[in-house]
């Protein structure tokens, strides 16, 4: 990760010393880490994070403010949450090797986290109203069209936990996002990885799974078996996606061993095949070839 030109993650916790939890309805889990944990992100080479999720406000507005401040102070771009609705909707932007990447982020649950005009929160999006959701995605894309952005990314914290396959509604929304001009749809929230679909040559990652989260391992889903996704991009073309099998233990992401990697890659092959996306195997990794391969 540290060697990537740009490393993007969903940061699903607050980085804060605040102790008071969110004052809304009680939750089963409240995710937070001390401010010193920012070193875990910088040490891993994280460049950009999505904050539009159902845990970034677990330690209330103070926790969100601390998180945004720490990210900014350490040069990590963020999208999807902020002190106002305008800031929550603002994209994170980075330029690497002459290529500009911009990411907007939304979450479809924890509605009480939603930012308002002058109140901190997340960029909340009700995906049950598909027409309204697509209109919001189009509005978020509009300022990027004339900004010389090579790769606009739409980050979506969507859908239920522990589901291998996205609902047809999500497939319609993701394809609609690509058709309106988003070039990568980056989904997360399911706690397991889902298939990748190439729509008009643009990648839709319906769910990227977890990377360090093993607070509750489900033996049926094996959500300690995960993937790290490496996208090889040109200025306007996807060359290929490399699938790196990962096994999570003791809150650490480790390269999967041979047996673990076999299970992970076979599961991904089956899921992707259902969407017409071939996955070929290499030594310990999987490959999805893009139009530029």
State pLDDT tens for residues 210-230: 998 767 899 889 999 999 999
Q: Which of 196, 203, 184 is nearest to 144 (CA)?
A: 184
Give the integer Cα–Cα distance in Å for 207 and 166.
8
pLDDT score recorded for residue 146: 76
Give the integer Cα–Cα distance in Å for 139 and 208.
25
The answer to which of 127-131, 187-191, 249-253 has the lowest mean pLDDT is 249-253
What is the average pLDDT across 187-213?
96
Q: How far separated are the first and last CA of the chain, in Å rounded?
A: 22
Task: With both helix axes pointing from N to C terminus, report the angle between 168-180 and 130-145 in degrees, rounded to the nearest 10.
Answer: 30
Q: What is the chain's mean pLDDT, rounded?
A: 96
Interior angle at CA 17, CA 12 and CA 19, nearest 5: 85
Among all chains, which residue has been given the structure tokens 């990411």? 103
Q: Which of 1, 53, 285 is nearest to 187 (CA)?
A: 53
**Pairing relation of β-strands 184-188 and 202-205?**
parallel
pLDDT 10s digits, 229-278:
999 999 999 999 999 999 999 888 999 999 999 999 999 999 999 999 99
Q: Half-sphere exposure of 5 toward its Cβ, with a 13 Å CA cutoff? A: 13
Domain ranges of the chain: 8-157
What is the average pLDDT across 29-56?
97
Measure Cα distances from 216 to 15, 48, 107 in Å: 21, 26, 22
The answer to which of 177-186, 250-259, 275-284 has the lowest mean pLDDT is 250-259
Give the integer Cα–Cα distance in Å for 214 and 217.
6
Measure Cα distances from 100 to 113, 229, 286 in Å: 30, 19, 27
Judge if pTM exceeds 0.95: yes
The alpha carbon dihedral of 58, 64, 68, 74 has a sign of negative
Measure Cα distances from 274 to 79, 156, 196, 238, 268 in Å: 32, 22, 10, 21, 10
Instruction: Let me know: does 211 contact 191? Beta carbons within 8 Å.
Output: no
Q: Half-sphere exposure of 227 toward its Cβ, with a 13 Å CA cutoff? A: 30
Instruction: Let me know: does 291 contact 201? Beta carbons within 8 Å.
Output: yes
Give the integer Cα–Cα distance in Å for 164 and 175.
18
**Pairing relation of β-strands 238-249 and 252-255?**
antiparallel
Instruction: Let me know: does 80 contact 29? Beta carbons within 8 Å.
Output: no
pLDDT score recorded for residue 147: 78
| Token output for 113 | 């986290």
Interior angle at CA 244, CA 243 and CA 249, nearest 5: 140
């Amino acid at each position: 990760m540290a060697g990537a030109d740009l490393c993007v993650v969903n940061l699903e916790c607050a980085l804060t010393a605040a102790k008071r939890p969110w004052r809304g309805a009680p939750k089963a889990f409240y995710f937070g880490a001390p401010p010193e944990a920012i070193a875990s992100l910088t040490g891993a080479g994280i460049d950009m994070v999505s904050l539009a999720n159902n845990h970034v406000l677990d330690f209330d507005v103070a926790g969100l403010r601390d998180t945004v401040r720490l990210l900014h102070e350490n040069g990590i771009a963020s999208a999807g949450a902020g002190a106002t609705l305008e800031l929550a909707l603002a994209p994170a932007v980075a330029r690497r090797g002459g290529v500009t990447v911009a990411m907007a982020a939304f979450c479809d649950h924890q509605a009480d986290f939603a930012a308002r005009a002058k109140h901190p929160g997340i960029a909340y999006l009700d995906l049950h109203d598909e027409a309204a959701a697509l209109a919001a995605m189009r509005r978020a894309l509009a300022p990027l069209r004339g900004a010389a952005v090579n790769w606009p990314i739409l980050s979506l914290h969507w859908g239920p936990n522990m589901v291998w396959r996205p609902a047809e509604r999500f497939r319609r929304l993701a394809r609609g996002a690509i058709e309106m001009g988003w070039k990568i749809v980056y989904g997360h929230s399911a706690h397991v990885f889902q298939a990748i679909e190439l729509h008009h040559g643009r990648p839709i990652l319906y769910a990227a799974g977890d990377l360090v989260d093993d607070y509750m391992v489900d033996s049926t889903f094996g959500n300690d078996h995960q993937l790290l996704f490496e996208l090889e991009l040109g200025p306007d073309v996807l060359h290929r996606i490399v699938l790196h099998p990962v096994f999570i233990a003791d809150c650490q992401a480790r390269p999967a061993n041979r047996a673990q990697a076999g299970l992970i890659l076979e599961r991904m092959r089956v899921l992707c095949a259902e969407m017409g996306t071939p996955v070929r195997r290499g030594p310990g990794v999987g490959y999805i070839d893009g139009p530029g391969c």
